[in-house]
Amino acid sequence: ISFAAGDENPRAFLGCSDDKIDAVTTAIGDASLRHTLSFGIGLHHAGLTSGDREVVENLFLDGSIQVLVATATLAWGVN
């Protein structure tokens, strides 16, 4: 987030409209995840609910978020 903000474009990693990400993040239970998703950055770890993890996976796969911070287990399966 700091890197993107340094370029004066804090949503540089967001690959969808603000309206779409705002609609999606209202259903996210984890506050930190909600915050990072609004900048196009997803977090994926065992502490998230399965619903939150699924949302992050789908947003990354469809290009809506362009950065995914994940555990090694998930990273091996992400294309």
**pLDDT tens by residue, 59-71:** 999 999 999 998 8
Residues 6 or more apart in contact with residue 20 via CB below 8 angstroms: 64
What average pLDDT is seen over the chain? 89
Residue 4 to residue 77: CA distance in whole angstroms:
27
Residue 5: which pLDDT band, with cuts at 50, 70 and 90? low
Angstrom CA distances, 3 to 8, 9, 39, stand at: 9, 9, 11
Cα dihedral across residues 68, 70, 73, 74: positive or negative: negative
Query: Number of C-alpha atoms within 13 angstroms, CB side, residue 4?
Result: 14
**pLDDT tens by residue, 39-60:** 999 999 889 999 999 999 999 9
